[in-house]
Chain A
Protein backbone atom coordinates (compact mmCIF):
# COMPACT_ATOMS: atom_id res chain seq x y z
CA UNK A 1 0.00 0.00 0.00
CA UNK A 2 1.18 3.48 -0.84
CA UNK A 3 1.50 6.24 1.71
CA UNK A 4 -1.31 8.27 0.21
CA UNK A 5 -3.67 5.33 0.62
CA UNK A 6 -2.72 4.90 4.26
CA UNK A 7 -3.34 8.60 4.82
CA UNK A 8 -6.75 8.44 3.14
CA UNK A 9 -7.79 5.42 5.20
CA UNK A 10 -6.58 6.99 8.44
CA UNK A 11 -8.47 10.19 7.68
CA UNK A 12 -11.65 8.19 7.19
CA UNK A 13 -11.14 6.27 10.42
CA UNK A 14 -10.24 9.39 12.40
CA UNK A 15 -13.29 11.24 11.06
CA UNK A 16 -15.50 8.28 11.91
CA UNK A 17 -14.13 8.10 15.44
CA UNK A 18 -14.57 11.81 15.88
CA UNK A 19 -18.19 11.61 14.69
CA UNK A 20 -18.92 8.76 17.09
CA UNK A 21 -17.36 10.51 20.05
CA UNK A 22 -19.10 13.77 19.17
CA UNK A 23 -22.38 11.91 19.08
CA UNK A 24 -21.62 10.49 22.50
CA UNK A 25 -20.84 13.87 24.00
CA UNK A 26 -23.65 15.76 22.28
CA UNK A 27 -26.09 15.43 25.16
CA UNK A 28 -25.68 17.88 28.01
CA UNK A 29 -23.85 16.67 31.06
CA UNK A 30 -21.00 15.20 29.09
CA UNK A 31 -19.09 18.25 27.95
CA UNK A 32 -15.43 18.97 28.26
CA UNK A 33 -12.15 17.48 27.13
CA UNK A 34 -11.88 14.70 29.72
CA UNK A 35 -15.28 13.34 28.75
CA UNK A 36 -14.29 13.48 25.08
CA UNK A 37 -11.07 11.58 25.58
CA UNK A 38 -12.45 8.97 27.92
CA UNK A 39 -15.23 8.28 25.45
CA UNK A 40 -12.72 8.14 22.61
CA UNK A 41 -10.75 5.57 24.56
CA UNK A 42 -13.81 3.46 25.17
CA UNK A 43 -14.87 3.64 21.51
CA UNK A 44 -11.37 2.57 20.48
CA UNK A 45 -11.61 -0.29 22.94
CA UNK A 46 -14.82 -1.56 21.37
CA UNK A 47 -13.29 -1.14 17.95
CA UNK A 48 -10.17 -3.00 18.98
CA UNK A 49 -11.98 -6.02 20.42
CA UNK A 50 -12.94 -7.61 17.07
CA UNK A 51 -9.50 -6.92 15.62
CA UNK A 52 -7.80 -8.42 18.66
CA UNK A 53 -10.21 -11.35 18.70
CA UNK A 54 -9.61 -12.09 15.02
CA UNK A 55 -5.87 -11.89 15.54
CA UNK A 56 -5.97 -14.26 18.51
CA UNK A 57 -8.11 -16.79 16.61
CA UNK A 58 -5.75 -16.57 13.64
CA UNK A 59 -2.76 -17.20 15.88
CA UNK A 60 -4.45 -20.19 17.52
CA UNK A 61 -5.32 -21.73 14.14
CA UNK A 62 -1.78 -21.14 12.92
CA UNK A 63 -0.20 -22.78 15.96
CA UNK A 64 -2.55 -25.76 15.66
CA UNK A 65 -1.62 -26.14 12.00
CA UNK A 66 2.07 -25.97 12.83
CA UNK A 67 1.78 -28.61 15.52
CA UNK A 68 -0.14 -30.87 13.18
CA UNK A 69 2.46 -30.34 10.44
CA UNK A 70 5.23 -31.33 12.84
CA UNK A 71 3.43 -34.46 13.94
CA UNK A 72 2.77 -35.62 10.40
Chain B
Protein backbone atom coordinates (compact mmCIF):
# COMPACT_ATOMS: atom_id res chain seq x y z
CA UNK B 1 0.00 0.00 0.00
CA UNK B 2 2.70 2.49 0.97
CA UNK B 3 4.68 1.54 -2.14
CA UNK B 4 1.57 2.08 -4.23
CA UNK B 5 1.00 5.58 -2.85
CA UNK B 6 4.66 6.38 -3.20
CA UNK B 7 4.55 5.22 -6.81
CA UNK B 8 1.42 7.22 -7.53
CA UNK B 9 3.16 10.32 -6.19
CA UNK B 10 6.28 9.94 -8.27
CA UNK B 11 4.30 9.17 -11.42
CA UNK B 12 1.87 12.03 -10.82
CA UNK B 13 4.67 14.54 -10.27
CA UNK B 14 6.42 13.32 -13.41
CA UNK B 15 3.23 13.73 -15.41
CA UNK B 16 2.80 17.27 -14.11
CA UNK B 17 6.36 18.19 -15.03
CA UNK B 18 5.91 16.65 -18.46
CA UNK B 19 2.82 18.72 -19.22
CA UNK B 20 3.64 22.04 -17.68
CA UNK B 21 1.36 24.08 -19.93
CA UNK B 22 -1.63 21.95 -19.07
CA UNK B 23 -0.71 22.11 -15.40
CA UNK B 24 -0.26 25.87 -15.58
CA UNK B 25 -3.66 26.45 -17.16
CA UNK B 26 -5.34 24.24 -14.59
CA UNK B 27 -3.64 26.03 -11.74
CA UNK B 28 -4.44 29.42 -13.26
CA UNK B 29 -8.18 28.75 -13.13
CA UNK B 30 -7.96 27.93 -9.47
CA UNK B 31 -5.67 30.88 -8.68
CA UNK B 32 -8.12 33.33 -10.23
CA UNK B 33 -11.09 31.85 -8.41
CA UNK B 34 -9.48 31.56 -5.01
CA UNK B 35 -7.73 34.93 -5.06
CA UNK B 36 -10.87 36.81 -6.02
CA UNK B 37 -12.97 35.15 -3.34
CA UNK B 38 -10.40 35.75 -0.62
CA UNK B 39 -9.68 39.35 -1.71
CA UNK B 40 -13.30 40.37 -1.87
CA UNK B 41 -14.34 38.79 1.38
CA UNK B 42 -11.29 40.12 3.23
CA UNK B 43 -11.79 43.67 2.00
CA UNK B 44 -15.54 43.43 2.60
CA UNK B 45 -14.90 42.44 6.19
CA UNK B 46 -12.42 45.25 6.58
CA UNK B 47 -15.08 47.69 5.41
CA UNK B 48 -17.64 46.35 7.86
CA UNK B 49 -15.10 46.62 10.63
CA UNK B 50 -14.21 50.17 9.65
CA UNK B 51 -17.85 51.24 9.67
CA UNK B 52 -18.35 49.72 13.10
CA UNK B 53 -15.30 51.40 14.59
CA UNK B 54 -16.32 54.72 13.16
CA UNK B 55 -19.77 54.44 14.63
CA UNK B 56 -18.38 53.71 18.03
CA UNK B 57 -16.26 56.88 17.69
CA UNK B 58 -19.51 58.82 17.42
CA UNK B 59 -20.16 58.13 21.04
CA UNK B 60 -22.48 55.62 22.57
CA UNK B 61 -25.25 57.89 23.81
CA UNK B 62 -26.15 59.69 20.62
CA UNK B 63 -29.66 59.76 19.19
CA UNK B 64 -30.88 61.08 15.86
CA UNK B 65 -34.40 62.09 14.90
CA UNK B 66 -35.41 62.40 11.29
CA UNK B 67 -38.65 63.04 9.47
CA UNK B 68 -40.07 60.12 7.50
CA UNK B 69 -40.39 56.50 8.43
CA UNK B 70 -37.35 54.28 8.33
CA UNK B 71 -33.75 55.30 8.70
CA UNK B 72 -32.13 54.26 5.47
CA UNK B 73 -30.10 56.59 3.31
CA UNK B 74 -32.58 59.46 3.17
CA UNK B 75 -35.79 57.49 3.17
CA UNK B 76 -37.92 60.57 3.72
CA UNK B 77 -41.35 60.06 2.27
CA UNK B 78 -42.89 62.94 0.35
CA UNK B 79 -45.17 65.35 2.19
CA UNK B 80 -43.79 64.66 5.65
CA UNK B 81 -42.89 67.96 7.33
CA UNK B 82 -39.46 68.69 8.76
CA UNK B 83 -39.15 69.73 12.41
CA UNK B 84 -39.47 73.22 13.85
CA UNK B 85 -37.35 74.99 16.41
CA UNK B 86 -40.30 74.73 18.81
CA UNK B 87 -40.11 70.92 18.46
CA UNK B 88 -36.48 71.06 19.55
CA UNK B 89 -37.30 73.24 22.54
CA UNK B 90 -40.19 70.96 23.49
CA UNK B 91 -37.91 67.91 23.45
CA UNK B 92 -35.38 69.65 25.68
CA UNK B 93 -38.08 70.68 28.12
CA UNK B 94 -40.26 67.55 28.15
CA UNK B 95 -37.89 64.60 27.71
CA UNK B 96 -35.88 63.80 30.83
CA UNK B 97 -32.26 62.74 30.55
CA UNK B 98 -31.26 64.87 27.57
CA UNK B 99 -27.74 66.30 27.93
CA UNK B 100 -27.80 68.36 24.74
CA UNK B 101 -29.97 68.74 21.72
CA UNK B 102 -29.10 70.29 18.36
CA UNK B 103 -31.30 71.14 15.41
CA UNK B 104 -29.50 70.44 12.16
CA UNK B 105 -30.23 72.06 8.84
CA UNK B 106 -27.97 71.10 5.97
CA UNK B 107 -27.40 72.74 2.64
CA UNK B 108 -24.78 72.62 -0.02
CA UNK B 109 -23.03 75.66 -1.43
CA UNK B 110 -19.72 77.14 -2.45
CA UNK B 111 -17.03 78.46 -0.15
CA UNK B 112 -14.38 80.83 -1.44
CA UNK B 113 -11.24 82.31 0.08
CA UNK B 114 -9.26 84.45 -2.35
CA UNK B 115 -8.44 82.24 -5.34
CA UNK B 116 -9.41 78.98 -3.57
CA UNK B 117 -12.95 77.66 -3.93
CA UNK B 118 -14.81 74.50 -3.00
CA UNK B 119 -18.33 73.09 -3.15
CA UNK B 120 -19.62 71.26 -0.14
CA UNK B 121 -22.09 70.86 2.66
CA UNK B 122 -22.86 73.59 5.18
CA UNK B 123 -24.46 72.73 8.49
CA UNK B 124 -26.56 75.17 10.46
CA UNK B 125 -27.00 74.25 14.12
CA UNK B 126 -26.54 75.37 17.72
CA UNK B 127 -23.43 75.21 19.95
CA UNK B 128 -24.61 71.92 21.51
CA UNK B 129 -23.87 70.18 18.20
CA UNK B 130 -20.11 70.21 18.87
CA UNK B 131 -20.55 68.40 22.16
CA UNK B 132 -23.04 65.90 20.78
CA UNK B 133 -20.72 64.95 17.92
CA UNK B 134 -17.58 64.70 20.04
CA UNK B 135 -15.74 67.51 18.27
CA UNK B 136 -12.65 69.10 19.75
CA UNK B 137 -10.93 72.28 18.62
CA UNK B 138 -7.71 72.47 16.70
CA UNK B 139 -7.60 76.25 17.10
CA UNK B 140 -9.92 79.21 17.80
CA UNK B 141 -13.30 78.69 19.43
CA UNK B 142 -16.75 77.21 18.86
CA UNK B 143 -19.59 79.65 18.24
CA UNK B 144 -21.71 80.53 21.25
CA UNK B 145 -25.36 80.97 22.17
CA UNK B 146 -24.75 84.66 21.77
CA UNK B 147 -23.56 84.14 18.19
CA UNK B 148 -26.66 82.06 17.63
CA UNK B 149 -28.95 84.72 19.01
CA UNK B 150 -27.38 87.45 16.89
CA UNK B 151 -27.07 85.37 13.74
CA UNK B 152 -23.39 86.32 13.74
CA UNK B 153 -21.45 85.91 10.50
CA UNK B 154 -19.08 83.26 11.89
CA UNK B 155 -18.21 79.66 11.05
CA UNK B 156 -16.19 76.71 12.31
CA UNK B 157 -14.48 74.45 9.75
CA UNK B 158 -13.07 70.93 9.58
CA UNK B 159 -9.57 70.06 8.41
CA UNK B 160 -10.61 69.15 4.88
CA UNK B 161 -12.10 72.61 4.43
CA UNK B 162 -8.97 74.15 5.96
CA UNK B 163 -6.85 72.26 3.42
CA UNK B 164 -9.13 73.25 0.55
CA UNK B 165 -9.17 76.97 1.26
CA UNK B 166 -6.06 77.85 3.21
CA UNK B 167 -2.71 76.72 1.91
CA UNK B 168 -0.28 77.78 4.62
CA UNK B 169 -2.24 80.59 6.19
CA UNK B 170 -3.83 80.54 9.62
CA UNK B 171 -7.58 80.48 8.94
CA UNK B 172 -8.62 82.05 12.22
CA UNK B 173 -10.02 85.53 11.70
CA UNK B 174 -10.12 85.22 7.92
CA UNK B 175 -13.28 86.12 6.07
CA UNK B 176 -14.55 83.55 3.61
CA UNK B 177 -17.47 83.79 1.22
CA UNK B 178 -20.04 81.07 1.84
CA UNK B 179 -22.75 81.19 -0.82
CA UNK B 180 -23.77 84.86 -0.90
CA UNK B 181 -22.59 85.71 2.62
CA UNK B 182 -19.23 86.67 4.01
CA UNK B 183 -18.41 84.89 7.28
CA UNK B 184 -15.44 84.87 9.59
CA UNK B 185 -13.63 81.67 10.52
CA UNK B 186 -13.55 81.56 14.31
CA UNK B 187 -12.47 77.95 14.90
CA UNK B 188 -11.02 74.87 13.28
CA UNK B 189 -11.86 71.31 14.29
CA UNK B 190 -9.39 68.60 15.18
CA UNK B 191 -9.09 65.90 12.53
CA UNK B 192 -11.38 62.89 12.99
CA UNK B 193 -10.01 60.89 10.12
CA UNK B 194 -11.56 59.38 7.11
CA UNK B 195 -13.14 56.11 8.09
CA UNK B 196 -15.88 54.10 6.45
CA UNK B 197 -18.80 56.25 5.45
CA UNK B 198 -17.10 59.33 4.10
CA UNK B 199 -14.96 62.21 5.21
CA UNK B 200 -15.90 63.51 8.68
CA UNK B 201 -13.60 66.48 8.32
CA UNK B 202 -15.42 67.81 5.28
CA UNK B 203 -17.46 70.04 7.57
CA UNK B 204 -18.42 73.71 7.61
CA UNK B 205 -20.66 74.74 10.52
CA UNK B 206 -22.49 78.02 11.07
CA UNK B 207 -25.13 79.02 13.63
CA UNK B 208 -28.60 77.96 12.48
CA UNK B 209 -29.80 81.55 12.57
CA UNK B 210 -26.92 82.60 10.35
CA UNK B 211 -27.79 79.90 7.84
CA UNK B 212 -31.37 81.14 7.79
CA UNK B 213 -30.74 84.86 7.63
CA UNK B 214 -27.62 85.16 5.57
CA UNK B 215 -27.47 82.06 3.41
CA UNK B 216 -30.87 80.58 2.64
CA UNK B 217 -33.63 82.73 3.97
CA UNK B 218 -36.36 81.11 6.01
CA UNK B 219 -39.31 79.93 3.95
CA UNK B 220 -41.09 77.81 6.56
CA UNK B 221 -40.93 77.08 10.29
CA UNK B 222 -40.48 73.43 9.35
CA UNK B 223 -36.91 73.66 8.16
CA UNK B 224 -34.98 71.35 10.47
CA UNK B 225 -34.02 68.14 8.67
CA UNK B 226 -32.53 66.38 11.67
CA UNK B 227 -32.34 66.64 15.42
CA UNK B 228 -29.25 65.30 17.19
CA UNK B 229 -29.56 64.45 20.85
CA UNK B 230 -27.04 63.25 23.38
CA UNK B 231 -28.33 61.47 26.42
CA UNK B 232 -26.98 61.82 29.93
CA UNK B 233 -24.84 58.94 31.09
CA UNK B 234 -26.78 55.94 32.33
CA UNK B 235 -30.05 56.85 30.63
CA UNK B 236 -31.73 53.86 29.00
CA UNK B 237 -31.94 54.70 25.33
CA UNK B 238 -35.08 52.67 24.62
CA UNK B 239 -36.92 54.55 27.32
CA UNK B 240 -35.62 57.82 25.95
CA UNK B 241 -36.68 56.93 22.42
CA UNK B 242 -40.18 56.21 23.71
CA UNK B 243 -40.36 59.62 25.40
CA UNK B 244 -39.11 61.42 22.32
CA UNK B 245 -41.70 59.63 20.21
CA UNK B 246 -44.53 60.57 22.59
CA UNK B 247 -43.58 64.25 22.53
CA UNK B 248 -43.17 64.40 18.79
CA UNK B 249 -46.37 62.47 18.03
CA UNK B 250 -48.28 65.01 20.07
CA UNK B 251 -46.58 67.98 18.43
CA UNK B 252 -47.15 66.55 14.96
CA UNK B 253 -50.83 65.81 15.71
CA UNK B 254 -50.68 62.12 14.96
CA UNK B 255 -53.79 60.07 15.77
CA UNK B 256 -53.52 56.76 17.61
CA UNK B 257 -54.07 54.81 14.42
CA UNK B 258 -51.36 56.68 12.53
CA UNK B 259 -47.81 55.46 12.20
CA UNK B 260 -44.88 57.65 13.23
CA UNK B 261 -43.97 60.02 10.38
CA UNK B 262 -40.48 60.43 11.82
CA UNK B 263 -37.93 58.05 13.21
CA UNK B 264 -35.63 57.99 16.19
CA UNK B 265 -32.47 55.98 16.29
CA UNK B 266 -29.63 55.61 18.68
CA UNK B 267 -26.04 54.90 17.75
CA UNK B 268 -26.43 51.18 18.36
CA UNK B 269 -29.28 50.94 15.88
CA UNK B 270 -27.42 53.06 13.36
CA UNK B 271 -24.46 50.77 13.76
CA UNK B 272 -26.63 47.74 13.18
CA UNK B 273 -28.26 49.22 10.11
CA UNK B 274 -24.97 50.26 8.59
CA UNK B 275 -23.09 47.08 9.37
CA UNK B 276 -25.95 44.95 8.11
CA UNK B 277 -25.84 46.82 4.83
CA UNK B 278 -22.11 46.35 4.55
CA UNK B 279 -22.65 42.69 5.37
CA UNK B 280 -25.08 42.49 2.49
CA UNK B 281 -22.35 43.96 0.34
CA UNK B 282 -19.84 41.41 1.61
CA UNK B 283 -22.25 38.58 0.86
CA UNK B 284 -22.82 39.99 -2.59
CA UNK B 285 -19.08 40.23 -3.25
CA UNK B 286 -18.60 36.71 -1.96
CA UNK B 287 -21.30 35.47 -4.31
CA UNK B 288 -19.78 37.26 -7.27
CA UNK B 289 -16.37 35.86 -6.52
CA UNK B 290 -17.88 32.43 -5.84
CA UNK B 291 -19.10 32.59 -9.41
CA UNK B 292 -15.59 33.36 -10.57
CA UNK B 293 -14.38 30.35 -8.62
CA UNK B 294 -16.94 28.29 -10.47
CA UNK B 295 -15.83 29.79 -13.78
CA UNK B 296 -12.28 28.82 -12.85
CA UNK B 297 -13.56 25.31 -12.24
CA UNK B 298 -15.23 25.20 -15.63
CA UNK B 299 -11.97 26.36 -17.16
CA UNK B 300 -10.25 23.43 -15.50
CA UNK B 301 -12.92 21.08 -16.76
CA UNK B 302 -12.37 22.40 -20.27
CA UNK B 303 -8.67 21.76 -20.12
CA UNK B 304 -9.34 18.30 -18.80
CA UNK B 305 -11.82 17.59 -21.59
CA UNK B 306 -9.42 18.84 -24.23
CA UNK B 307 -6.72 16.56 -22.93
CA UNK B 308 -9.06 13.66 -22.29
CA UNK B 309 -8.14 11.85 -25.52
CA UNK B 310 -4.48 11.97 -24.75
CA UNK B 311 -5.09 11.09 -21.14
CA UNK B 312 -7.38 8.20 -22.04
CA UNK B 313 -4.63 6.81 -24.26
CA UNK B 314 -2.18 7.30 -21.44
CA UNK B 315 -4.48 5.36 -19.14
CA UNK B 316 -4.82 2.64 -21.79
CA UNK B 317 -1.06 2.33 -22.05
CA UNK B 318 -0.63 2.14 -18.29
CA UNK B 319 -3.36 -0.48 -17.96
CA UNK B 320 -1.94 -2.52 -20.85
CA UNK B 321 1.46 -2.51 -19.23
CA UNK B 322 0.05 -3.91 -16.00
CA UNK B 323 -1.12 -0.98 -13.90
CA UNK B 324 -4.36 -1.64 -12.04
CA UNK B 325 -7.26 0.76 -12.36
CA UNK B 326 -6.76 1.67 -8.69
CA UNK B 327 -3.14 2.65 -9.25
CA UNK B 328 -4.01 4.76 -12.26
CA UNK B 329 -6.80 6.50 -10.37
CA UNK B 330 -4.56 7.16 -7.42
CA UNK B 331 -2.07 8.78 -9.75
CA UNK B 332 -4.77 11.03 -11.24
CA UNK B 333 -6.09 11.86 -7.80
CA UNK B 334 -2.64 12.89 -6.63
CA UNK B 335 -2.20 14.98 -9.77
CA UNK B 336 -5.54 16.72 -9.30
CA UNK B 337 -5.00 17.37 -5.60
CA UNK B 338 -1.45 18.60 -6.15
CA UNK B 339 -2.46 21.03 -8.88
CA UNK B 340 -5.48 22.36 -7.07
CA UNK B 341 -3.72 22.79 -3.76
CA UNK B 342 -0.79 24.52 -5.41
CA UNK B 343 -3.35 26.70 -7.20
CA UNK B 344 -5.26 27.27 -3.99
CA UNK B 345 -2.15 28.22 -2.05
CA UNK B 346 -0.94 30.55 -4.79
CA UNK B 347 -4.41 32.07 -4.99
CA UNK B 348 -4.37 32.80 -1.28
CA UNK B 349 -0.89 34.30 -1.39
CA UNK B 350 -1.95 36.46 -4.33
CA UNK B 351 -5.10 37.53 -2.50
CA UNK B 352 -3.16 38.51 0.61
CA UNK B 353 -0.87 40.52 -1.65
CA UNK B 354 -3.86 42.27 -3.21
CA UNK B 355 -5.33 42.99 0.19
CA UNK B 356 -2.18 44.52 1.67
CA UNK B 357 -2.00 46.66 -1.46
CA UNK B 358 -5.67 47.62 -1.72
CA UNK B 359 -6.66 47.94 1.94
CA UNK B 360 -4.79 51.23 2.52
CA UNK B 361 -6.09 52.55 -0.81
CA UNK B 362 -9.74 52.11 0.15
CA UNK B 363 -8.91 52.95 3.77
CA UNK B 364 -9.90 49.79 5.56
CA UNK B 365 -7.95 47.56 7.86
CA UNK B 366 -6.62 44.30 6.51
CA UNK B 367 -8.29 41.64 8.64
CA UNK B 368 -7.04 38.12 8.00
CA UNK B 369 -10.01 35.76 7.97
CA UNK B 370 -8.84 32.18 8.48
CA UNK B 371 -12.23 30.75 7.74
CA UNK B 372 -12.61 32.14 4.23
CA UNK B 373 -9.08 31.09 3.37
CA UNK B 374 -9.79 27.54 4.45
CA UNK B 375 -13.13 27.46 2.64
CA UNK B 376 -11.63 28.79 -0.59
CA UNK B 377 -8.77 26.32 -0.35
CA UNK B 378 -11.05 23.33 0.23
CA UNK B 379 -13.38 24.47 -2.51
CA UNK B 380 -10.50 24.72 -4.97
CA UNK B 381 -9.36 21.24 -4.01
CA UNK B 382 -12.85 19.86 -4.53
CA UNK B 383 -13.19 21.62 -7.87
CA UNK B 384 -9.85 20.30 -9.02
CA UNK B 385 -10.58 16.78 -7.92
CA UNK B 386 -14.09 16.68 -9.32
CA UNK B 387 -13.17 18.08 -12.70
CA UNK B 388 -9.74 16.52 -12.96
CA UNK B 389 -10.60 13.14 -11.59
CA UNK B 390 -14.00 12.36 -13.11
CA UNK B 391 -12.77 11.85 -16.70
CA UNK B 392 -9.99 9.59 -15.44
CA UNK B 393 -12.48 7.41 -13.61
CA UNK B 394 -14.36 6.70 -16.80
CA UNK B 395 -11.19 5.88 -18.70
CA UNK B 396 -9.85 3.57 -16.02
CA UNK B 397 -13.03 1.49 -16.09
CA UNK B 398 -12.48 0.59 -19.77
CA UNK B 399 -10.69 -2.47 -21.11
CA UNK B 400 -7.17 -1.37 -21.99
CA UNK B 401 -7.75 -1.86 -25.70
CA UNK B 402 -10.81 0.40 -25.65
CA UNK B 403 -8.90 3.10 -23.82
CA UNK B 404 -6.09 2.79 -26.37
CA UNK B 405 -8.51 3.07 -29.29
CA UNK B 406 -10.12 6.23 -27.86
CA UNK B 407 -10.14 9.10 -30.32
Whether chain B is bound by chain A comes out as: no
Which residues on B are within 8 Å of A, measured CB to CB?
Answer: none
Which residues on A are within 8 Å of B, measured CB to CB?
Answer: none
